[in-house]
Amino acid sequence: MTDLESPQQTTAHALSEWRQAEQVVAVARRGRLAAETAVAAAQEAAEAANATAEAAKAALHSAQLAETSAARTAAAAKIIIQATRADMADAEADNAMADVDEASAHLRYRDAVDRASGRPAGS
């Protein structure tokens, strides 16, 4: 039987697990926010690069160079969007797992408090 399954887990240990789980949740949420911000910035960059590419088509010789540069920027932005979306999916999965772990730790803590106070667990 693992520590997580032990019905005799101490209140202090359960509280410690709960606090650790809360910290993991906070980190996961910050990671998700950073990923969302990065997706928005990358989308803005892609739109700006595409707009630059359209403007460059109307210019002469120097516009051809600008168009190539803008197309490369748009391609790079698309790669960033794809990578950031994958990071966001990972962050969301991490966030969900952290929420589950935190809820589980909280229940174990409540059960430990109930046992410590002489109440039946889950009351």
pTM as predicted: 0.45
Give which of 28, 45, 32 is closest to 81, Cα–Cα: 45
Burial, 112: exposed, middle or buried (Cβ in 10 Å; 0-12, 13-18, 19+)?
buried
Beta carbons of 121 and 114 less than 8 angstroms apart:
yes
How big is the CA angle at 77 (ends 33 and 48), to the nearest 5 degrees?
95
Residue 19: band (very low, low, confident or very high) from pLDDT cuts 50, 70, 90: very high
CA distance 27 to 20: 11
Structure-token match 């109440």, residue found: 119
> What pLDDT, on the 0 to 100 scale, is given for residue 99?
93
With pLDDT > 70 as the criterion, what percentage of the chain qualifies? 87
**pLDDT surpassing 80 at residue 64:** no
Among 15-19, 50-54, 92-96, which is the least confidently predicted range? 50-54
In the chain, where are the structural domains located? Answer: 11-117
CA distance 11 to 74: 55
